[in-house]
Amino acid sequence: MFDNYNFKYKRVFEIFSQISAIPHGSGNMEAISDYVVDFARRNGLRYIKDSANNVVVYKEATSGFEKSEPVILQGHLDMVCQKTAESDFDFSKDGLELFIDGDFLKAKDTTLGADNGIAAAMIMAILESNDISHPYIEAVFTTDEEIGMIGAGELDISVLRSKRMINLDSEEEDVVTVSCAGGSDFRAIFDISKEKFSGQEVTVTLKGLLGGHSGVEIDKGRVNANILAGRLLSFLSEKTDFQIISINGGDKPNAIPNLCVIKLCCENSAEFKTVCEDYLNQIKAEIKQRESNFEFLVEIGNNGEFDVLSDKLKKDIIYVLNTTPNGVLQMSAEIEGLVETSLNLGILKTDKSEIIMHYALRSNKASALSFLNRKMKILFSVTDCKTEEFGYYPPWEYRDDSKLREIYCKTYNEKFGKEPKIEAIHAGLECAVFSSSIKGLDCIAIGPSLFDVHTVNEKMSISSAERIFSLILSVLENCK
């Protein structure tokens, strides 16, 4: 499809087109992994493929670089599969339908998969060429990054000898990423003890909050619906009598919940409704500048006998909802504007036998993340619940003495006459997995400008991809 376009680095886009023709959604890695293996064979390059379908391809240093330190070029092979509601596209067997719109490369009715197919295409173009100067290259193509960095976690690091790595999974051309958060899940589980209570059912709905990603938007001051529910229940417990039937808010631990529904039971519903609405109106006025669409609904239901939480469990739930840390806990002292440590109560769920509180914990410091887990255990230890930690992934900590970052920034300045932005993110990157396994790894993350990733509107700037590829070639040339 690129025959009629005068791209300076056409081969990158041709390879990307070949990748796009192969189904490669997360969990469907065999075919795309075999494609990389076939590529290595055709080009006479040594390779390793493991049981997780990761592929490592090796290329010898070019003349003059034999004594230079080797470098890892790394990207992931899987893509997020999203399509329009009207599309009959089948990600398990169909190839993406690419098209060009001005400076942008897009896919018809689906995600584009430039996250992270463009990384694979750039790396393969470098491996294929005999006209590029570079040190010894270890090209690492990982799998299932989008569903938990699974491939990177299963890769045998002993097959690598390099101590410097360029990850190509960043999405802003003028940014070099130098640190990312690690994280884990923390869950508290309360066994439900019930009592019978006769009264009138009341449903309180807190809705219209902004919500958002618990990494990217955690510092935006957005109100967590579950925490707000705890605040309301605490106030009501001092002003009026009621019992709790259930409380439910959020469905993903890493998403700030924008909705919470509380089912209660009381004897004097009219008085309860007045007290509840008066307080919620105060809250609405308090948060209107940051949560202008916040709404609430207090609905009176039927009279009857209801199963309600025991008084002890009711007090425990109100206690933890009002004392739990949530949101930003610490800002970085090393990188201006970076959230260093945070957590998010993303799920508050009542089922038949349990109440579950599920948090996403994040930190760019391993020690701070460990302390946060201990802190949560101590908080919940005074209640009758069990806790569990799981889903740990390490942080990629900022390195003061990064020679690779210096080479990149110097090269960037020489090519474009300006400095790149040096940033850290409060979310996960595979750099964290590699830096935690390879002692002393010097690592940066870069990439071309991508927009609306993980959505059907995903697009990639063609000119940006060309500039980044040209920049990578110059960086490799300067990696002597």
- Positions annotated as catalytic residues are 78, 145
End-to-end CA distance of the chain: 37
Question: Running DSSP on this structure, what letter comes out for residue 157?
Answer: G
State the virtual CA torsion across 210, 213, 214, 215 in degrees, nearest 10. -130
Phi and psi at residue 338, to the nearest 5°: -85, 125
Alpha carbon 338 to its chain's center: 16
Q: How far apart are CA 269 and CA 375, in angstroms?
A: 38
Do 143 and 77 meet the contact criterion of CB atoms below 8 Å apart? yes
Per DSSP, the three-state class of 352 is coil
E strands within 115-193? Answer: 137-142, 164-167, 175-180, 182-191
E strands within 192-294? Answer: 194-207, 212-213, 243-249, 255-256, 260-266
Q: How far apart are CA 413 and CA 58, in angstroms?
A: 30
Q: How far apart are CA 92 and CA 115, in angstroms?
A: 18
Question: Running DSSP on this structure, what letter comes out for residue 145?
Answer: G
Q: What Å distances lie between residue 46 and 29, 126, 138, 204, 476, CA to CA?
A: 20, 15, 10, 63, 20
